[in-house]
Chains A and B, each alone.
Chain A
């Protein structure tokens, strides 16, 4: 078992076109570090020195991680993490 991370179209150049990649870690931060080892450059597109980038939304099992614990959000095997760019509604 691993954590499935769904990658949006615009970042798939960093995952060899894969829509989803597997990773591991106890927190979102560790998960992103783990992904970075196999997909160099990915972490910098998601995170800057202040935390998650402004126009990047990350969901743990469909819930926005900004309301869970940000990069410190606890993740576990079997979870699904979805990365999406912020878009307008209305």
Chain B
């Protein structure tokens, strides 16, 4: 495959079957390898669409500074696109994210502003909104509320999945900004009768939920519950176990949030087997495992890995 530039190579990722983890010939699991994007994660799609949209609207012009709250992958994707297009980037990132993400952002010349670990991404969003108010000249793309994020998946990820798997019955992905699930979910619902759209939400350690008040919670503006069939909260241990299973059984080295999506996908597969229904279940491999090596997710026993993840933002 030949492309005129790196950005042109975005998307078009492989969908691979999981012959060992699929329970039967009638109930099959399929992994969409989003780590095969230019910076190694699914966030490249949203970052490219958000920047392109802001350029079209005239909000972004050469030399502009972009501000974004991110736990890592979106920042890395924005850094690449910003570099190629001549923008500066400031990322507000919770201090409890893996060191690889920080190193990669710094490598691209991104300025990182840390937000407190307690409260996780909620705090990063709050800090970024405050900075945006103080600096009206900065452009906040705001992945949690930017329709271009969901649109990227409506126009690219969704059509790719349906073209590769016309018999799809379930779509499973991690829930963060909700952009992937909203975009792919809407696209599939318009075309596949009774398709099941399933969210796998990471359940972090207590520190991340350490908000001062329960009314300070956060629901992304993009989120529309009517697109989803159901939503699971996946504990770190289940996500870790499935991340390792994917590596051992199918040879796929994925990040920890992928284990969460796989856990929910296997749950749906078992349900289909019990009900005697056929199923083609596609789930998203959001990124590879490289950026999480320092978290210790892949070494030692599950208990040790789980203990090391406590308090970290692993998705």
Residues from chain B with Cβ under 8 Å of A87 in the complex: 119-122, 204, 208-209, 211, 217-218
**Interface size band for A:** 20 to 34
A10, B231: Cβ atoms closer than 8 Å: no
B217, A56: Cβ atoms closer than 8 Å: yes
Which of A8, A53, A62, A90 is within 8 Å of B209, CB to CB? A8
| 9-residue interface stretch from B21-29, B31-39, B171-179 | B171-179
Q: Mark B208-237, 1 if CB is under 8 A from A, else 0.
A: 111111111111100001001111111100
- CB contact under 8 A between A89 and B121, given known A64-B230, A67-B231: yes
For A53, the closest partner residue in chain B by CB is: B214
Bound Cα distance A7, B161 (Å) = 39
Bound Cα distance A6, B201 (Å) = 17
| Residues of B contacting A: mostly | mixed
B233, A59: Cβ atoms closer than 8 Å: yes
Bound Cα distance A85, B211 (Å) = 8
Q: Mark A5-26, 1 if CB is under 8 A from B, else 0.
A: 0001111000000000000000
Residues from chain A with Cβ under 8 Å of B225 in the complex: 66-67
- CB contact under 8 A between A90 and B70, given known A56-B214, A62-B232: yes
Residues from chain A with Cβ under 8 Å of B218 in the complex: 55, 86-88
- CB contact under 8 A between A89 and B216, given known A62-B232, A63-B232: no
Residues of B107-140 at the interface with A, using a CB-CB cut-off of 8 Å, are 119-122, 124-125
**Number of contacting residues on B, CB 8 A?**
45
A89, B209: Cβ atoms closer than 8 Å: no
B214, A11: Cβ atoms closer than 8 Å: yes
For A67, the closest partner residue in chain B by CB is: B230
Interface residues of chain B, those whose CB is within 8 Å of chain A, are 69-71, 73-74, 119-122, 124-125, 143-144, 174-177, 201-204, 206, 208-220, 225, 228-235, 315
Q: List 18 A–B pairs whose Cβ atoms lie within 8 Å, in order of A's numbering.
A: A8-B206, A10-B213, A10-B214, A53-B215, A56-B214, A67-B228, A67-B229, A85-B214, A85-B217, A87-B122, A87-B204, A87-B211, A88-B144, A88-B220, A89-B71, A89-B177, A90-B70, A90-B176
Q: Using A54-B217, A55-B216, A87-B122 as known contacts, list a sample of 4 further A-B pairs with CB atoms less than 8 Å apart, ordered by residue number in A.
A: A10-B213, A87-B211, A88-B121, A90-B73
